[in-house]
Structure 1
Amino acid sequence: METEALLARFVGGLTALDPVAVWAHGSLAGGDYQEGRSDLDLIAVLPGPVTPAVVWKVAVLHARLRPLPLATGLHCTYLTPGTADDVTGRHLTWAHEQLFKRPVTPVTRRELHAFGRVLHGRPPAELLPPVADRELAAYVVRDQRDYYRPALDNAALWTRDVWVDLGMITFARATVTAREGRLISKGEALDLLPGLGAPAEVVEDIRRRRYDHPAPPTEEWTARRARLTRDYLGPAIDALTASYD
């Protein structure tokens, strides 16, 4: 399996940095991973400060992985034992073939506690503080209100597959998390969306593209799908945020 070969190569390459732990989260750990389609979402905990020398070594490691199959989808955020409990800080991250900084969100932290896969070293429970249900719910609702809801005003975004997929799936997942305090997979989200009032033809379009190999959509369907998605998500997000407030 190419995924396992890439993970082994990555963890082996980290040996020079003496990692305390390496974990997988997201679909790779949660059981809904699709090789060649899903990203590989990882967290590495390094033993000491993330100095410029460490940043250079991380960049070199990821550059060396680039020729390998699936490497473009390997994303990793780097923590240290001293920064692991910082829920608002921005941490060194390799994703989309570049280095930048971003937080480790409450969703990621809950995933790691609930079903994180240990690839090396110590388990998440020994290094990460737990995430309270209220903190998790507040985060997913805020994400819907402050990120996805304003994005609906940009009609061009919603002609793209990735925005339709993430918008619909993330809404369903946020709804369940806010109401019940639990996380669900992307596959479970697709199963739940029709019951949440989502347009069935859009849900089936996402499902086919995620699990099958359909022909590229026509321009007419792309425009219709964008309109259906925006018409649904606007009121749905408003109702979610109003019920949580």
Structure 2
Amino acid sequence: MDAKPELFRSVPTEVRPYLTELVRRTRAVCGPQLTAVIAVGSLALGDYRHGRSDIDLTVVVEGPPPPAVLRELGDALDHRRLPCPAAGLELVVYAADFALVPSGEAGYLLDLNTGAQLPGRAAFDTAGAPSFWYVIDRSVAHQDGITLYGPPASEVIAAPRPADLYTAIRDSVREHGDGEGHLADNRVLNGCRSVVYCRTGRWLAKRDAAVQVAAAEEDFRPLIEAAVRSFERPRAAALSLPAPQVRAFLAWVRARVDAAAASA
């Protein structure tokens, strides 16, 4: 199945040439084993910010392909060979039979991070890897993934089971609560997105979720509004947010997630 030019028009103009070339290289490496290339994350949710956001992609393949093919794909998409115009590329490859079945596992064949603002990483083994990032991304993909090549995302990526998804959300909140390696604004906005998902059963863009939570929770409104202002700046110019307030907010988020999980 060919790439879909009409769907490329639903992503920002700054990244269209890059995505076109990325799909071309992925097809060249994977050949007939390639099932789909799907945009997830901020691209899928309509909140991509150039210079701040990553490009998040999910690739689905038949097979699985030999390890040499996965290594070749990682090399072909490395920032040094295909410069990423965004903050970075986070690309995950799944086997088609794994992606079609609800799972709480990481389950990837390749997890590639590359870009000017991302530490380079190409992982081929899920041993010891936290699973929550991947479970949440597959949930977003099933809901709103933008197919750049192949069938609709919901036909190739199953929605996680509610118990697995709530476990993943809880683990995500715990990770952001610890704070290490995460910008403060992103910690707050991911917390907003988690709360809104627990209330509505749908993933929203971070800023849209922030508007909802700020409107309903007056005590946290100044912190959330400051996080939104910071998120609208480049990563290097992100604002400093009061650490005690961030921790208190994320503790509140975790309590909301625990309550939703208990009633699911």
TM-score category (smaller protein): 0.7 to 0.9
Identity of aligned residues (%): 24
2:76 to 33, 49, 61: 61
CA separation of 1:198/1:236 partners in 2, compared to 1, >3 Å: closer, same or farther? farther
Q: Name the count of aligned residue pairs.
A: 232
Normalising by structure 1, we get a TM-score of 0.80
Which residue number in structure 1 is paired with residue 48 of structure 2?
A: 33
Which residue number in structure 2 is paired with residue 3 of structure 1?
A: 15
Amino acid at match of 1:140: I
Root mean square deviation of aligned Cα: 2.9
**2:264 paired with 1:209:** no
Which residue number in structure 2 is paired with residue 238 of structure 1?
A: 255
Which residue number in structure 1 is paired with residue 88 of structure 2?
A: 73
Deviation at 1:225, TM superposition (A): 1.4
1:14 to 15, 19, 26: 26
**2:104 paired with 1:83:** no
What is the DSSP-based 3-state SS (H/G/I as helix, E as strand, rest coil) of the residue aligned with 2:183?
helix
1:119 to 145, 148, 166: 148
CA separation of 1:233/1:130 partners in 2, compared to 1, >3 Å: closer, same or farther? closer
d(CA) in 2 for partners of 1:198 and 1:50? 52
d(CA) in 2 for partners of 1:94 and 1:237? 29
Flag structure 1 segments of 5+ consecutive residues without an equivalent. none
Which residue number in structure 1 is paired with residue 211 of structure 2?
A: 191
d(CA) in 1 for partners of 2:79 and 2:175? 34
d(CA) in 1 for partners of 2:91 and 2:235? 30
1:173-188 equivalences under 5 Å are: 173-188=193-208
Amino acid at match of 1:174: S
d(CA) in 1 for partners of 2:134 and 2:78? 26
- 1:16-48 Cα offsets, whole Å, 9 max, x none, are 212211000111011111122111110111222
d(CA) in 2 for partners of 1:2 and 1:175? 31
- 1:215-239 Cα offsets, whole Å, 9 max, x none, are 957xxx84x6112212332244235
CA separation of 1:81/1:196 partners in 2, compared to 1, >3 Å: closer, same or farther? same
d(CA) in 2 for partners of 1:64 and 1:141? 32
Which residue number in structure 1 is paired with residue 58 of structure 2?
A: 43
1:164 to 184, 199, 213: 184
CA separation of 1:67/1:139 partners in 2, compared to 1, >3 Å: closer, same or farther? closer
CA separation of 1:118/1:198 partners in 2, compared to 1, >3 Å: closer, same or farther? farther
d(CA) in 1 for partners of 2:70 and 2:83? 21
